[in-house]
Amino acid sequence: MDSIKILQEWIDSSDNIVFFGGAGVSTESGIPDFRSVDGLYHQEYDYPPETMLSRTFYERKPEEFYRFYRNKMLYLDAVPNEAHKKLAQLEQAGRLRAVITQNIDGLHQKAGSREVLELHGSVLRNYCSRCGRFYPVEAITESRGVPHCECGGKIKPDVVLYEEGLDQKILSKAVRYIEKADILIIGGTSLVVYPAAGLIDYYRGGKLVLINKAPTGMDYKADLLVQGSIGEIMSQIQVHGGR
């Protein structure tokens, strides 16, 4: 039996599925993975992306941080792909309990998913680092240089920068979902970024599905390996009502 048929059977038999996704889910909506080094970074910026997206860089060189952030991290015209849409349908059908994502683009919510745990925050939310007031993404896109609140404080994107810790409440909630899941589907991630990649260790079930274009260092843990585009694979799944 091929892997798609097995995946379909597993999905049809469960109402306790959890999905954990990485950058590969967003790249199919045209959002590049900023870690993939290309000539543009070297031509336009003096530092690697990981440096420019660090807390230290944000504090010391805010002008340069926001120039990079506006140019490279905001893809507000992107639309959900087949993977986003299918996951939302599975949730609406009562089969999927939660989406846990490393992405910061809000596309899962745009597709209709309700229970989305954003491990690294969201570009759509921003807040004043002095008074805490929240701002929409327009506060960044419609300003120049360093955006400031009315109180004078810097407006910071609600995303987790390098050197910053993950939100422990969200992380704990993700662990609870994974621990209780019948099926854990992991898609579009190479499972190398910690602590998020360590979430796989909390899964106790016997139906761990890994969907990725390239092999990962965690393939040996999978009960079902499906190699290919997450959007193409999920588009082949039929959504039937809950059991």
Residues marked active site are found at: 120
Distance CA 233, CA 116 (A): 21
How do beta strands 121-128 and 155-159 pair? antiparallel
Distance CA 200, CA 210 (A): 11
Cβ neighbours for 206, distance < 8 A, ≥ 6 positions apart? 223
Cβ–Cβ < 8 Å for 159, 120 = yes
> What tokens does 136 get?
């929409």
> What tokens does 13 get?
């038999």
Cβ neighbours for 53, distance < 8 A, ≥ 6 positions apart? 34, 65, 68, 69, 73, 161, 162
Q: Among candidates 3, 13, 11, which has minimal Cα distance to 90?
A: 11
Q: Among candidates 64, 34, 63, 38, which has minimal Cα distance to 49?
A: 34
Cis preceding linkage at 62, omega within 30: no
Distance CA 212, CA 197 (A): 14
- Cα dist. 144→71, 149, 209 in Å? 12, 13, 44
